[in-house]
């Protein structure tokens, strides 16, 4: 969706039992090291990332992060407490890079829990929550335009994922398409 993210490589991993020699093939991923991420983005560590004044954030970048989290139905993140986001510094401004999406509705991990602020339906894809302090929904237009431009590529990526069964690809496609349908009217944004 953006270069201001961790680079990740999806791959098959062969695990070999050192005693028996038996092999197990599973899907996994490699994620870019944070130092490499900072170097690639020309950014530095933010010394104390918790409680950063909002004037240090670029609204368009922050809105893209929030909409991405909204897209995947993730309520397990916070800029204020730097939860599941790396906050970097570039040109004196904060740069938010999300990670750790296992509690998102899109991933659907069996161990995920429901955030106390939302009902069970709030994380199933029925209604994902938009968690940021944007006061005016119309100010989302630049971020929304960015997402619309990425929509077809995102859907192609899902449809071509061989690690997913056809039913899983359909469910993921439906999940993403439902996000775009709801966002046409910005009908389910929950601001906090």
pLDDT band at 189 (very low <50, low <70, confident <90, very high): low
* In contact, 175 and 123? CB cutoff 8 Å: no
pTM for the model? 0.82
Residue 14 neighbours by CB under 8 Å, 6+ apart: 23, 24, 25
Phi, psi of 170 (to 5 degrees): -65, -45
pLDDT at 161 over 70: yes
Domain parsing of the chain, residue ranges = 44-183
Q: What per-residue confidence (pLDDT) applies to 75?
A: 86
pLDDT tens figures, 102-155: 989 898 888 876 554 444 444 444 444 555 544 456 678 888 899 999 999 999
Phi, psi of 10 (to 5 degrees): -85, 135
Q: What per-residue confidence (pLDDT) applies to 20?
A: 97
* Burial class of residue 79, CB neighbours in 10 A (0-12, 13-18, 19+): buried
Q: What per-residue confidence (pLDDT) applies to 190?
A: 47
Token reading at 24: 């197990």
Q: What per-residue confidence (pLDDT) applies to 136?
A: 55
Q: What per-residue confidence (pLDDT) applies to 32?
A: 97
pLDDT tens figures, 5-60: 999 999 999 999 999 999 999 999 999 999 999 999 999 999 888 889 889 999 88
pLDDT at 78 over 50: yes
For residues 184 and 80, which has the higher predicted lDDT (pLDDT)?
Answer: 80
pLDDT band at 69 (very low <50, low <70, confident <90, very high): very high
């Amino acid at each position: 969706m953006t270069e201001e993210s961790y680079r990740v490589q999806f791959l098959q991993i062969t695990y070999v039992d050192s005693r028996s020699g038996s092999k197990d093939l599973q899907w996994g991923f490699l994620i870019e090291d944070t130092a490499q991420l900072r170097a690639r983005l020309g950014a530095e560590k933010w010394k104390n990332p918790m409680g950063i004044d909002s004037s240090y954030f670029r609204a368009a970048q922050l809105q893209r992060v929030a909409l991405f989290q909204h897209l995947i139905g993730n309520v397990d993140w916070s800029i204020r407490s730097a939860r599941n986001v790396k906050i970097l510094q570039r040109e004196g401004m904060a740069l938010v890079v999300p990670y750790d999406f296992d509690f998102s509705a899109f991933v659907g991990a069996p161990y995920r829990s429901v955030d106390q602020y939302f009902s069970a339906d709030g994380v199933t894809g029925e209604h994902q929550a938009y968690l940021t302090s944007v006061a005016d929904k119309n100010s989302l237009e630049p971020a929304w335009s960015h997402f619309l431009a990425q929509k077809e590529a995102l859907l192609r990526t899902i449809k071509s994922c061989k690690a997913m069964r056809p039913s899983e690809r359909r469910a993921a496609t439906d999940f993403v398409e439902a996000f775009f349908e709801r966002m046409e009217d910005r009908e389910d944004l929950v601001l906090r």
